[in-house]
Amino acid sequence: MHIPIKRSKSNQILGGVIAGLCEHYDWNPAIGRVLYVVLALTPMFPGIIVYLILWMLMESPDEN
């Protein structure tokens, strides 16, 4: 099972997951990363687990 959103190849820090989501929804990747870190620091949001699951489910970036 894959999510029809591709990870970012050009704008990645670790796996390109947050940048890929931001590119898909036309958001600023810096703001997306800050929001993700803020959410990940809250005890109700398992940030690392969600990131790893998204990394596995999202499509690989184009090889272009």
In 3-state terms the chain splits into helix, strand, coil percentages (rounded to 5) of 50, 10, 40
Task: Chunk the chain into consecutive blocks of 10 residues (it has 64) and report each block's average pLDDT, rounded to whole numbers.
Answer: 80 86 92 91 85 88 65
Q: Whole-model pTM?
A: 0.78
3-state secondary structure of 5: strand
Question: Would you list the domain boundaries of the chain?
Answer: 3-59
Other CB atoms within 10 A of residue 4 CB: 7
